[in-house]
Structure 1
Amino acid sequence: MVPWALIRLKKLSSTLLSFILLLPYLAAQQTPRAQIESLIRSNQLDAAEQQLFSQLQAHPSDGWALDLLGTVRLKQKRTSEATALFHRAHSLNTNDSNALRGLAESAAASETFDDAIAWYTKLLELNPTDLASRKQLALLQEKAGRYADSVATIQKIPVASRSADLLPTLASDYLNVHQEQKLAPLVQQVVKLGPANSNVMLDFVAVLVRNGYIQDSEKILQIARPSKPTAKYLHTLARVREAQDNLPEASKLFQQALQLDPKSFDLLFDGARFSGQHNRWDEAVGYLQKCDEVNPDRPEVLLKLTLAYLKTRRREKAVSVARRLASVSPNDPNAQYILAFALVENELWETAEPMARKAVEQNPKDANSQLLMGIIHLNKGELDAARVSFDETLRLDPNLLDAHYYSALVSDRKGDVDAARTELDALVVKNPDHANAQAELGVLRLRAGDAQGARAALEAAVRLQPEASQTHYQLGLVYARLGLQDESKAQMAEFQKLREAEDNLRKREAGVKVP
């Protein structure tokens, strides 16, 4: 009889021999993947891509190769291609964690946060101990405004495993769900962080500034101050100074930060916000143009650049950028609305009308869309249709001041001057800084023979909107009526100067050289 020990030994030897015989095959399977992963880690993307093409040509359904090629595409910022590759890998194996992670990262890169959240959720269902993915999920939930969900996700990460960069996210979450009492312990944790976590401290300060905690911001900034100020430190300090209404210092700090990092998208974009909020629209245009150069076709940049061009009366450029926005975001009703708005500002009523009508059909309860449709009707002379649109606008939002202004214009054009003047009087009482209302009220008062009342309204309009040429013309007429000839001549000269500037701007936009 053969001893059992000898039988076991023979079985073990047979298994070992089989494993040894399989080693070359296993090595052949693992080596290409390991090599390609190494190339990707060292950022040799072209070489990795070539090897992956060869691999997929021979084995089109290799999930790992599809995942790695998707990773290459993500690093190349070819997000749509990356998404398609990860979808293909996921369709071959719905439990492919790399494909799920890739889909989540692709969605996050495209800022489609809801999709990214859904993919990370599926990944965590597959692997609940994946703390890195849980952290990314929490960060995305905060960005998407799901603050309570973000808190719940962070609480599922063991305290010992929570990285310091979760503190700003948690602070934002607590403040947005009105749990302010939980902020103080987080501030204490941040204060104790060392120099290695200065970026976390600055991110935390940014959250505090947005929510009005300026004293705590100052305390943390004093601790986080580097020996040699960085662009991020100066930018954060600028936000604090802005919150303290020290605008000259804030502006100076913005400029210093840009000198250190002139291609920082976040810094340029925030600079545009700062300039726009303080009516420095030419400066805002410059910042937004640089944003578009650094990171082209970002919808939020194109939206703000369109509005900034309109503010600076570069209407043709506004239309051009709005068309780009509509092309980049074809399914976004807001993009279509902005394009229609830019066309209206450019007096292209017929072109704007289908887009405005579509905006109303898509969201009939949106007061701004109804308002835009009414403006188009008004400028096409369709007064009854305009009245219906403006009445609906005011039903949806009685506090929309522009709707009252345009409603008064309809009344005036239909011959009901008293109704128009009554509505404008009420509007400027409610908001004396509505330049268009003051200008129109001045014209109506002048027509009614109330020269002094017209003077008060038109002087207010010129102060609020000095670039409006027609208002200077009307004020010149009022001064002439009152016998103030010198003042009248000054206003007419300003009118001519502004009209000439407007004409030259239109010529330049059309490519005509202007001396």
Structure 2
Amino acid sequence: MEQGQLFETTDEHGWTWMSLGSICVHLCSSVVCAFCVVFLSVCLNVESEGAESWQARYEAGLKRLAEGKYLLAQEEFKAVLADNAASVEAHNALGVSYQKAGELELARLSFVRALELNPSFVEARTNLGLNSLLRNETDRAVQELEKSLQLDPQQPLVLFNLGVVAARAGELRSAAAYFEKALALQPDDARILYNLAAAYFASSQPRPALEKADRLLALPSLDSEVCLEAGELLSRYGHAARAVRFYQMAKRQSSAASAGGKTSSNFDQLLADASAQFQRDVKAIAQLEAQVKSSPNDPVHYFNLGLMLTKLGEFSRCFELLKPAVARFPRSSEIRLAYALACYFTGRNDLAEQAYLQLVQMQPNSDQSHFALGNFYADAGRLEEAAASFRRAIGKNPGNYLNHYMHGVALFRCQSYLEAAASLRMALKLNPAHADSNFWLGKIYLLRNDRVKALQAFERAVKLEPKHVGAHYQLALLYARLGEKAKSQEALEIQRQLNAQLHKGIVALRMP
């Protein structure tokens, strides 16, 4: 066996894809699942006499591990450590065998021992982080995974797991950023593409979401389960045409009838529903186009057609419709707004900004024009300009709670936490039933280490919005820190169920 990292592969990326139940924990398809990568390396450096025996036992353990004979593998690695207790590779391998057998605490101890011997041993550092993630020790998992990335930044599965953690916490834009980094290292991975599309959809960014869905569809090979998941995701966000294509691809797979736990009748129903919705969308567009044709001087029809095309992800068609319309109806604020959206969704950010600024000029006393400009800046990552626009919106209409809320979120992302808290409190004064304001205020309390107020804020958020994924996740972490294990597990289970289709991953083993 060669020294260094070797891979047992079942796909073109060098990853072994296995069922979740066969590794160390069963995370069913109805929950958020993380990639769990297990590293093993053979870096043997012993005296030649006895090395053959040492390496023979180690390699025998690796063989047992690959065969799924975890107890026998453990015996081999323990025998190696009896002769060479300082072998970080053997401690790491023993931890892998424990983790695959579901012995998470014993696995953790093995990884910790390997790191005590060599704190820079990246494989053990990564495995310890992933072990903590499987044990729902999120803070520790993030710390270890970030340390692992400092040792080796080129780890797509570690980046993916950090994205999963961010998604669980409701930080979908941060999740997408991690997934993008993972995709840059593994550009044709179906699971990363799927999760990216889901993160972008959930954070109201349909253009990159659809781009990732199209890349996913263009992959040369795609298993039926991923096709079904992608089809369901697209159907949920109203993109029936693309959903139909994914369902049709899944149907061509030999295992389509049982993919993802779906029966043949379930699968046929999904395809039929998506096809019917697609036909309704086509009909609706045709009717709106007919209205534009019959009443070419009415901007309302252009506006309605533009919004429908945007909703269905037909961004280029929307831009081609509204580019001449904005010249034809220069005084229509509705057309200007729709045109700004079309520019943004087709990647023409300069034109989009220009259109939003013109909208502000057209409606200088309206908070909505400043609010729209603030949303654009926030989506473009220009957070200080976003905060300034939302502040102007507040000046125009201080009684609109959404102006205060968006101002608070923008300030939070600018790390201006005191000002953010003030804006969020004002949003809640105007609308005490706003769950998201409670959620972001809770995050500020966490940063201040005020767990009591944070707990109250998150509990209010889930009471107001029982399906608030991020608030349930933060509650799970807080309850755990406060020693309320039962409540923590309950909140985490709710969060997992709510996140059923959002971010799916399959445990992947990096094997010798």
- Could you tell me the TM-score, scaled by structure 2's length? 0.39
Structure with the greater relative contact order (CA < 8 A, sep ≥ 6): 1 or 2? 2
- Could you tell me the TM-score, scaled by structure 1's length? 0.39
Structure of higher CA gyration radius: 1
